[in-house]
Chains A and B, each alone.
Chain A
Amino acid sequence: MPLDPKKHAMPVQDPAVRAHNFNEVALGYTPEIAFEEAARCLNCKNAPCVQGCPVNIDIPGFIAKLKNRDVEGAFKVISASSSLPAVCGRVCPQETQCESKCTMGIRFEPVGIGRLERFVADTHNSADAAPAEAPASNGHRVAVVGSGPSSLTCAGDLAKKGYQVSVFEALHAVGGVLVYGIPEFRLPKRIVAKEVEGLKALGVDIQTNMVIGKTLTVDELFEQGYEAVYIGSGAGLPNFMNIPGESLKGVYSANEFLTRSNLMKAYNSEPVTPIMKGGKVAVVGGGNVAMDAARTALRLGAEKVYIVYRRSMQELPARREEVEHAEEEGIDFRLLNNPVEILGYNNPDDPRDPKNGFVTGMRCIRMELGEPDAKGRRRPVPIPGSEFMLDVDTVIMAIGTSPNPLIKNTTAGLSVNDHGGIIIDENAMTTRENVYAGGDAVTGAATVISAMGAGKKAAEAIDKKLRTA
């Protein structure tokens, strides 16, 4: 049978329908599609795809199981390397990782590795398999700070090795960016909850409402008998552009907008946490977070949603699939545009006018690409005299975050770099003995899978250290 040059398309909700609901956009492969897609894998001996995976999943191994229709076997292969397969199958940028290295991709389209991973995890999760059993304890205790992807990975890997792991989460819900940031339509909360249940079954103790650096310090964790601490506290304070008008009502950071909608469920028909719904919305930025914010605004009932990005489509950092989905749903991309000022309503005759202080528009300037900067990206340069008004009443700033100061400020001997990121060595250890770190707290805003890779690496290093100690 000749090989199919194209990977099997992912069934998705119709764009016109999904733009008005929060249900998951991508519906997942059926078994038949999955087995056909698995048959496209060449099972290369050198497995270049594995090198493209930050957590080194045995990709040809799990696909080989799928070829034999052994989904549970495939799940076991993936679980050996990844604690969160249902999450990764959904949010990993496979096109720049495993799939970018796929031999099939040299002449044809690569194997749909991410889609297959998701199929395996979803099939396993829906089968109500007996939960994993907690392995025998090795007597060592490790504290993990935060419960986002890097922390959950670190906790899961250590628990599988018999460590007694406690996870300390500052919010009331477990999952970090997976529950406050990534929207329901891209990663349903039940998926995250299921993965967390799996960790609990492994014996991981999860404590919510614990702000390390405030409720307890890192030093106190050691006093309580933890032998190592992993800091996966994630990215912190949202960045703003420092242009006039950013404090007007109707200007949000993407973190705030997404947190209100996702974590606090402001998308419900009768929410208890408010959010501005409807109207015209501009999202500033071009990353995955910007796409999430724009598509959330649309689903909340916005009549018009713009992405305002200062470079061109070529430089736009979001995953291609997210950009395509956003375009299909009707998000209006205003590329090579940059905000200059946000304008607000002001009734000079009535200081008590309730409309005062709300956004009425955003003044932008057109840009062109100039010389490449230090990173090789062409620097956007404003075109003089090209300013124009964008008619919007909500502005969402999705231009990155700066590291959270809470832990650094309360942990003596913990060094950070110029950007506030925690400094670690090649073994993921910080400048404090037995304190490890990874994920956005180290690198600044990055992807779920790179955070997981960091959590995995730290778990290995912690294991090595505590076993030889």
Chain B
Amino acid sequence: MYKILKKQSLNPTVTLMEIEAPAVANKALPGQFIILRVNDEGERIPLTVAGTDKDSGSVTIIFQIVGATTFLLNQKQEGEYISDFVGPLGEASKLDGLKKVCIVGGGVGCAIAWPIAKALHGMGCAVTSIVGFRNKDLVILEDEFAKCSDRLIMMTDDGSYGEHGNVTVPLKRMLEAGEKFDEIITIGPVIMMKFVTLTAKPFGVPVTVSMNPIMIDGTGMCGGCRLTLIRDGKRITKFACVDGPDFDGYEVDFDEAMSRDRMYAEFERHAYENTCNLFRKAE
């Protein structure tokens, strides 16, 4: 059992939790993920590590309430326990030698981008952060990004906060103005990462994307998290859990990844509604 040391609502649909898991806290690096189960009969879901504190032995996770399991997780309070918490899984982000980086985060993906921005900032890398949300109410981690970014550009789809438009708008503007980056690191919805990659392509800037496909074991056993890279015209199968989650954006078949993400969309919608209804009845 793993204790919830802290719970904080970042916006109406996004929650931060610190979980007591010293063995994971000792090892986790930016870019890696954990898998948890809320209760004994629960499903396994992967979440990226948003931070660690070796002294308190805690691991920070930030999740959006999108389905039955994240709904159940959000019902848990400080001091309560979850059944399982395993990690760190996947390869850490490769940040060595980077001097100037543009971080592009979207929605709850910003929770994953934030520890990477922090790590880069800590090693003296110049960090430009472009973070986008649908609207003002959904903005998270603005202060945190401000602290570890040399330049921070806030975007909202509806213009209710920061600049109006997609994250690709300021990225394109900077690249067209001749701005050079060693790398663009983008984390968020697959469709956003696809368009960030397409935006960067004419300028030849390396793009790293963080993939978060459907997964079960997370240790290289089930193969459910497979995705396709297109390298020199050849299609190569990779497994996000052990080969990733970071991949070269120019190689990823994003359309296939988006299609696979929707495999259980119908099931998930029902499960979410049923779970919500159960709690409503209980109240």
Query: A-side interface residues toward B, CB under 8 Å?
Result: 170-172, 180, 208-211, 214-216, 234, 236-238, 240, 242, 246-247, 249-250, 252-253, 255-256, 259-260, 263-265, 272-274, 354, 356-357, 404-406
Contacts and interface: CB of A to CB of B under 8 A. Distances in A.
B256 interface: yes
Interface in B227-283: 227-228, 237, 239, 242, 253, 256, 259-260, 262-268, 271
Interface stretch (B6-14, B39-47, B121-129): B39-47
B223 interface: yes
B194 interface: no
B28 to A, nearest CB: 9
B48 to A, nearest CB: 15
Contacts of B242: 237, 404-406
A209 B83 CA distance: 10
B87 interface: yes
A264 B84 contact: no
* Chain B: number of interface residues, binned into ranges: 35 or more
B88 to A, nearest CB: 6
A209 B85 CA distance: 7
Contacts of A236: 220-221
A17 B268 CA distance: 31
B86 interface: yes
Describe B's contact surface by its main secondary structure: mixed
Contact of B84 (A172, A211, A237, A250): A172
A255 B221 contact: yes
Contact of B24 (A215, A256, A265, A274): A215
A247 B224 CA distance: 10
B68 interface: yes
Interface in B69-113: 69, 83-89
Contacts, number: 112
Contact of B260 (A210, A240, A249): A249
Describe A's contact surface by its main secondary structure: loop
A353 to B, nearest CB: 11
A259 B217 contact: yes
Contact of B23 (A215, A238, A260, A265): A215
Contacts of A250: 263
A247 B256 contact: yes
Contacts of B264: 274
Contacts of B151: none
Given A236-B221, A247-B256, A272 B68 contact: yes
